[in-house]
Chains A and B, each alone.
Chain A
Amino acid sequence: MHYLEKELGAFLGQPDAFAFLDSGTCDGIWYWDLEKPEHEYMSDGFWQALGFDPTKRQHLASEWQNLIFPEDGATALANFERHCADPSYPYDQLVRYKTADGGTVTVRCRGLAVRENGVPIRMLGTHTIIHDTRAIEIDRQISRMLELSSDAILAYSDSGGVIRWNQGAEVMYGIPESEALGQDPDTLTEAKCGSSKREIKAILDSGQAWSGEVTRKTRDGKVVITSTKIQRVEVSGDRTLLLQIDRDVTEHIEAREKERHLTRELHHRVKNLFSIIQGLVRLSFRPARTDDELADNICARIEALGKAYALSMEPEHDKTVDLHTLVRQALGPFNRGMNTVQIDGDGFPIPLNDISPLSLIINELATNASKFGALRTPDGRVSVTWDNCTDDNGRDMIELVWSEVNPETMSLNEPETTGFGTRLVALSAKQLNATLNQDWTNQGLICKLVIPFAQCDNQNHA
Chain B
Amino acid sequence: MSEQDGQRPLMGKKVLIVEDEMLIAFDLMDTFGDAGAAAIGPAGTLEQAFATFEKDETDVAILDIDLRGVSVFPFAEALVERNIPIVFHSGHGTLENLEMRFPDAAICPKPASREELIDKVTSLLETPD
A461 touches B69 (CB 8 A): yes
Q: Which of A190-198, A411-419, A422-430 contacts B (4 or more CB under 8 A)?
A: A422-430
B24 touches A431 (CB 8 A): no
A144 within 8 A of B: no
A260 at the interface (CB under 8 A from B): no
Query: Are A271 and B23 in contact, with the CB atoms below 8 A?
Result: no
Chain A residues near B3 (CB, 8 Å)?
none
Please determine whether B110 and A279 come into contact, CB atoms closer than 8 angstroms: no
A45 to B24 Cα, complex, angstroms: 96
Residue from B30, B91, B112 with most neighbouring chain A CB atoms (10 Å): B91
The 8 Å CB contact of A275, one of B22, B24, B30, B92, is B24
Which single residue of chain A is at the shortest CB-CB distance from B28?
Answer: A279
Given A353-B68, A431-B20, A461-B69, check contact A279 B26 (CB 8 Å). yes
- Given the contacts A271-B91, A272-B21, A272-B91, A286 and B30 also touching, CB distance less than 8 Å: yes
Asked if B27 is at the interface (CB within 8 A of a chain A CB), the reply is yes
Q: A271-B111, A275-B112 are in contact. Are A283 and B23 (CB under 8 A)?
A: yes
Give Cα A280 to B114, complex, Å: 14
Q: Are A274 and B111 CB-contacts (below 8 A) given A268-B66, A268-B92, A286-B30?
A: yes
**Number of residues from A at the complex interface, CB < 8 A:** 29
Minimum distance in angstroms from A276 CB to a CB of chain B: 5
Which of under 10, 10 to 19, 20 to 34, or 35 or more describes the interface residues of B?
A: 20 to 34
Nearest chain B CB to A268 CB, angstrom units: 4
A427 to B44 alpha-carbon distance, docked (Å): 11
Residue from A269, A278, A428 having most chain B Cβ neighbours under 10 A = A278
Residue A357 CB within 8 A of the other chain: yes
- Within 12-31 of B, Cβ neighbours of A (below 8 Å) are at 20-28, 30
Measured CA separation A283–B28 after assembly (Å): 10
Interface residues of B in 55-89 (CB under 8 A from A): 66, 68-70
Residues of chain B lying within 8 A (CB to CB) of residue A428: 22
Q: Are A431 and B91 interface neighbours, CB within 8 A?
A: no
Q: From DSSP, what is the main secondary structure of chain A's interface residues? A: helix
Q: How many A-B Cβ pairs are below 8 Å?
A: 71
What chain B residues lie within 8 Å of A272 (beta carbons)? 21, 24, 91, 110
Within 8 A of B (CB), among A256-285: 267-272, 274-280, 282-283
- Is residue A187 within 8 Å, beta carbon to beta carbon, of the partner chain? no
Chain B's closest residue to A267 (CB) is B91
Instruction: Answer whether residue B36 sits at the interface, using C-beta atoms and an 8 A cutoff.
Output: no
Rounded to whole angstroms, the CA-CA distance of A158 and B129 in the bound complex is: 61
Is B9 interfacial (CB 8 A cutoff)? no
CB distance from A305 to the nearest CB of B (A): 9
Task: Please name all residues of chain B whose beta carbon is closer than 8 Å to the beta carbon of A460 when the two chains form the complex.
Answer: 68-70
Task: Give min CB distance, B33 to chain A, whole Å.
Answer: 11
Partner of A423, one of B26, B66, B68: B26
Contacts of B22 in A (CB 8 A): 357, 427-428, 430-431
Chain A residues with CB below 8 A from B114, complex form = 282
Say how far A286's CB is from chain B's closest CB, in angstroms.
7
In chain A, positions 175-227 with a C-beta closer than 8 Å to chain B are none
Q: Report B24 CB to chain A, min CB distance, Å.
A: 5
Give the complex CA separation of A286 and B34 in angstroms: 12
In the complex, are the beta carbons of A275 and B111 less than 8 A apart? Answer: yes
Looking at the assembled complex, report how far the CB atom of B47 sits from the nearest CB atom of chain A, in whole angstroms. Answer: 12
- Which partner residue on chain B sits nearest A360 by CB separation? B23
Collect the chain A residues with CB atoms within 8 Å of residue B68's CB: 353, 460-461
C-alpha spacing A423/B30, complex, angstroms: 13
User: Given the complex, which residues of B lie within 8 Å of A423, measured CB to CB?
Assistant: 26
Contact check: which of A279, A353, A430 meets B27 at CB < 8 Å?
A279
Complex CA gap A415/B106 in Å reads 43
Q: What's the nearest-Cβ distance from chain A to residue B42, in Å?
A: 9
8 A-B pairs in the complex with CB atoms less than 8 angstroms apart: A267-B91, A279-B23, A279-B27, A353-B68, A353-B69, A424-B23, A431-B20, A431-B22
| A interface residue numbers (CB < 8 A to B) | 267-272, 274-280, 282-283, 286, 353, 356-357, 423-424, 427-428, 430-431, 459-462
Q: A278-B24, A286-B30, A461-B68 are in contact. List 5 more A-B contacts (CB 8 A).
A: A274-B111, A275-B110, A278-B27, A427-B23, A431-B21
